[in-house]
Amino acid sequence: MRHVGTVTHRMLQQIAHEGLDEWQEQPASIEAALSSRAAAIRAALMSEGVAAARLAEATALVMQAVRNTLSDERGRWLLAPRSTAASEMEMSAEVAGTLRRVKLDRTFVEPDGTRWIADFKITRIQGGSQEAFLDEQCAKYRPDLDRYRAALELRGEHNIKLGLYFPLQRAWREL
Statement: residue 13 has pLDDT above 90: yes
Q: Max alpha carbon distance in the chain (Å)?
A: 51
The domain locations on the chain are 2-72, 86-174
| Backbone Cα Rg of the chain | 16
Return the CATH fold of 86-174. Answer: Lambda Exonuclease; Chain A (3.90.320)
Pick from 146, 147, 139, 142: which is nearest to 98 by CA?
A: 147
Residue 98 — very low, low, confident or very high, per pLDDT cuts 50/70/90? confident
Separation CA 81–CA 62 (nearest Å): 22
Task: Write out pLDDT tens, residues 114-158.
Answer: 999 999 999 888 778 889 999 999 999 999 999 899 889 988 888
Task: Write out pLDDT tens, residues 50-69.
Answer: 999 999 999 999 999 999 99
The predicted pLDDT at position 27 comes to 59
